[in-house]
Structure 1
Amino acid sequence: MATQPVNSENHDWQLANAQPEAPEESGSKESSTKHTQQEKPSSRGETLSSVRTYLGLHPHVPIDDEHEDLEHHELLWSRIRLTLREPFAEFFGVFIMVMFGDGSVAQVLLSSNSTGNAGTISTSAPGGAGYGNYQSISWGWGLGVMLGIYVAGDSGGFLNPAITFCFCLYRGLPWRRFPVYLVAQFLGGFVAAGVIYANYVNAINNYEGYGIRSVPPSKTATAGVFCTYPQPYLSKASQFFSEFITSTLLMFVIFALKDDSNQGAMGKTGAGHMFPLALFFLIFGLGACFGVETGYAINLARDFGPRLMSYILGYGPEVWTAGNYYFWVPIVASFLGCTFGGFLYDAFIYTGPESPINTPWLGLKRLVRPELPRKKRAKSAV
């Protein structure tokens, strides 16, 4: 099945529980012999489809038609890859996103006091005092999200558990898919943070001192390379509101970009093939306009995974207690903010039938009675 990146229609979410089509029967002896020879691969294919369906994935793997019947798909790792192709894509999509995002933070922070051999500020860096500034971080996260979506195109390119949750809630993505995507996204951020640390460990030692690891508000803290920390002047309510409003904006705009019934800019439907680029500008804008207070985490996988890695690497329990136990705010606020942003878009703009907002009692009736069928208005033939 040929696919295009970041196109929800390619994943056929509404048919996630459909069974694979049965092979055509043939009365010829040659066809019967061929069927017998391929009985074992067919059984493996049925097992693969069953496992994928159990996980909430579409029974058919999203691969190119030319790759579908190649012999190497009978190898053990090939079968594992076909079974978990979308979770693998989400893992590496988040991995790429965090590598570029945390990498930009590390370069800007750790080069800010670069010194030469004489102990003076190094003049090898642009401007003589470091490699980049805050806008470099906004660029890094924007690029990371855009490239991560390209990597995870066949999985939907969600890269964020809160966004996955909203597509389950508002767009019919199977709920069974949510936990496997959540684990894949979390592990992607967790592993990426470890790679960033391995790459920058000498720079961290140079910046803080060998073996010294601290968190904000320490003036030499490097924990902010991996996850977000709030400004010390913020109250808990302000911390929460900052993450909530950025998450709301994120989800509202994503639904607009993915809405094919929305003519959007220049008369086009949705963002189409420009979706990854549009997300680049969205993330860049959120960072440029709302990043100062809490660092706009807006993503459990981007914040909690690297935070856990920094704890394991020696930053200590302060990664949980800093900011008056701020660590839970990006988790809860991202889910609530994205849910609210999706609600706003569907309540005031979206007209599609799959959203529960467009059902009796704004979806509450379906919540109480999930067995009720989703009614779709039949399209008249032209």
Structure 2
Amino acid sequence: MSEQFSHRRSNAISRLRQNTGGELLAEFLGTAVLIVLGCGSVAVAVAGLPGSGRQSVPFGAANWLIIAFGWGLAVVFGVYVAGGVSGAHINPAVTLAFAIRRKFPWMKVLPYWAAQVVGAFAGAAIVYAVYHNAIDFYNATQVPPVPSRSDSLATFSIFATFPAQYFGGVWWGPFVDQVVGTAILLCLIAALIDRRNQAPGSNMAAWLIGFVVVAIGLTYGTNAGYAINPARDFGPRLLTFITGWGSKAFPGDGAWFSNYWWIPIAGPLVGGVVGILIYDFFIGQVLAAREAVGEGPEPGRVPTPRETQEERAAERERASAEGRSPRE
């Protein structure tokens, strides 16, 4: 009897992994890896280096480079973990954009979002478990000491984002920043995975997408922490709310901002759709139109042998249909 139950359970788990359930497991783990490495890099830059005695100068440009490259590498390895199973969206903005413009099934959108948020929460919990001593030590050694986590914006930034002071507390500046940053991300992802275009070979797309994130961090990161991913912000934000950062997490209040929690969710969702629409309008539809009439490679690029053979075959077919000799 127990063997039959065990066999049925094994079959049920196998069916789960074969279908959407397997994709959700991949999105969970890929997003968890993203956060473990990404938030981990912020923890090193903010609390780990100063508290360990390995850095004696204030937070500066070198720390920002750690964060920018940490998040870029986090994306690379998150994509490699999940890519073969789920496509490694690991970002609700990617899932929504692909549903709108890449025929991703709408029925999978909410389950993907849930898996991504839970994965982000789990990843943040791991970072917290490893770095909570460094966080508390950092707060205690400030001048004057920070009395509680709820008063520490610096350590909150290890997990979630907030806007720069120069926005003056208004919501539209950070919102536009998130729209633009995520639009750049999705536009370039669309370019890097489009095999009609100059998509990278040798399974290099993950690395180049990671470098896209590095570039966004280096060019737009100081505005609002470049969440550009609702799960990346919301999952860790939930963790900080539970572990003592209070109103900094929800509703997202600080000395110069308030009710901020929704901006790193809504901004990236809008920006992702904008980005993929921009790519499709300027590039994707052009490639489709050229493909429809049998156009060769873009002007100035020497065709590969395979492209040359395909073009010659297409020319022979056209010549035969038109009753003429093929051009040499």
Residue of structure 2 equivalent to 1:338: 272
Q: CA deviation digits over 1:230-270, x for unaligned, max 9? A: 112213221111111101101111111111111x2xxxx45
Secondary structure of 2:261's counterpart equals helix
Secondary structure of 1:94's counterpart equals helix
Aligned partner letter, 2:17: R
Aligned partner letter, 1:345: Y
Secondary structure of 1:226's counterpart equals coil
Q: Does 1:260 align with 2:195?
A: yes
Q: Does 1:172 align with 2:103?
A: yes
1:196-235 matches, cutoff 5 A: 196-209=127-140, 212-214=148-150, 218=153, 221-234=154-167, 235=170
Match of 2:35 among 94, 98, 101: 98
Secondary structure of 2:203's counterpart equals helix
Shift of 1:204: 1.1
Please tell me whether the aligned partners of residues 25 and 115 of structure 2 are also in contact (alpha carbons under 8 angstroms).
Answer: yes
Q: Once superposed, what is the RMSD of the aligned Cα atoms?
A: 3.0
State TM-score, norm by structure 1.
0.66
Q: Does 1:326 align with 2:256?
A: no
Please tell me whether the aligned partners of residues 213 and 314 of structure 1 are also in contact (alpha carbons under 8 angstroms).
Answer: yes
**Unpaired runs of 5+ in structure 1?**
1-39, 41-70, 116-121, 355-379
Match of 1:147 among 77, 83, 98: 77
**Unpaired runs of 5+ in structure 2?**
141-145, 289-313, 318-328
Distance in 2 separating the partners of 1:114 and 1:343 = 45
Q: For this pair of structures, how many residues does the alignment match?
A: 274
Residue of structure 2 equivalent to 1:351: 285
Distance in 2 separating the partners of 1:143 and 1:238 = 28
Q: CA deviation digits over 1:6-32, x for unaligned, max 9? A: xxxxxxxxxxxxxxxxxxxxxxxxxxx
Please tell me whether the aligned partners of residues 177 and 223 of structure 2 are also in contact (alpha carbons under 8 angstroms).
Answer: yes
Quickly say closer, same or farther: Cα 1:82–1:109, change in 2 above 3 A.
same
The farther-off stretch of 269-278 and 230-239 is 269-278
Q: Does 1:81 align with 2:33?
A: no
State TM-score, norm by structure 2.
0.76
Secondary structure of 1:261's counterpart equals coil
Q: Which has the higher contact order (CA 8 A, sep 6+)?
A: 2
Aligned partner letter, 2:188: V
Tell me the percent identity: 34
Please tell me whether the aligned partners of residues 87 and 180 of structure 1 are also in contact (alpha carbons under 8 angstroms).
Answer: yes
Residue of structure 2 equivalent to 1:280: 210
Distance in 1 separating the partners of 2:218 and 2:285 = 32
Aligned partner letter, 2:252: T
Please tell me whether the aligned partners of residues 242 and 294 of structure 1 are also in contact (alpha carbons under 8 angstroms).
Answer: yes
Shift of 1:78: 3.6
Match of 1:251 among 183, 186, 208: 186
Residue of structure 2 equivalent to 1:361: none
Distance in 2 separating the partners of 1:247 and 1:128 = 32
